[in-house]
Amino acid sequence: MHSTASHPTRLSATWLALICLAMAIPACNQPPAVNPWRDDAIPQTAWSTPSQDAIIAAGHEPVIRQCDVPEIQAPYADERVPHYPLWWEDPLEDKGDENNTFAWTWQDYAAMPYSFGRCLLNTMGWPVSIVVTPPGTPMVSDGRIGRDHDAARGFSPDPTAERSDVHPN
């Protein structure tokens, strides 16, 4: 025999979920919610602190301090990052939309179907990618944006930073 004892509970839970959703949707557009279509970041002209404002208001000339420490040549470690092949790398992730606006623009909407299509194409062509760049191939990226891909075959220096792993500025 079919029992209807669980049916009212399931119906009540559904109604409760719908009521909560109906109450939550209007709250999504109230402050401090983020509006992704408008750049509401603090402008750089407003970046300040009370101590900075007090120093600027005092009108003192800046003091240039001289240290009695001799100059040395300071080498820095190679900034290349090691990784394995990035078969699904997307150039839009590397470059972004380059408009310095923290908001969704037309480029973001154009990137959605492009990136999805590119991912599908890369997934279907994955066997070809494996032949071109086999798994385990050591690669490095320098992190510079503005190019389609910054990955290249190569080795990153040893993190123990021997003399050969660093170079002067």
Tell me what pLDDT residue 124 has.
92
Which residue ranges make up each domain of the chain? 93-167
CA max distance for the chain:
94
Higher per-residue confidence, 137 vs 34: 137
Q: Which of 15-29, 77-91, 105-119, 153-167 has the lowest mean pLDDT?
A: 153-167
pTM for the complete prediction?
Answer: 0.48
Tell me what pLDDT residue 143 has.
72
Measure Cα distances from 166 to 71, 125, 127, 160 in Å. Answer: 18, 38, 37, 10
Tens-digit pLDDT profile for residues 109-156: 888 899 899 999 989 988 888 888 888 888 888 777 666 677 888 876
Dihedral, 23, 27, 28, 32 alpha carbons, nearest 10: -160
Provide the mean pLDDT of the chain. 76
Tell me what pLDDT residue 8 has.
59
Closest CA to 37 of 106, 130, 116, 98: 106
What count of Cα atoms within 13 Å lies in the side-chain half-sphere of residue 118?
Answer: 13
Tell me what pLDDT residue 75 has.
66
Tell me whether residue 86 is exposed, middle or buried, using C-beta atoms within 10 angstroms of its C-beta: 0 to 12, 13 to 18, 19 or more: middle
Q: What is the DSSP string of 36-53?
A: TTS--SPPGGG---HHHH
Confidence of residue 77 (pLDDT cuts 50, 70, 90): low
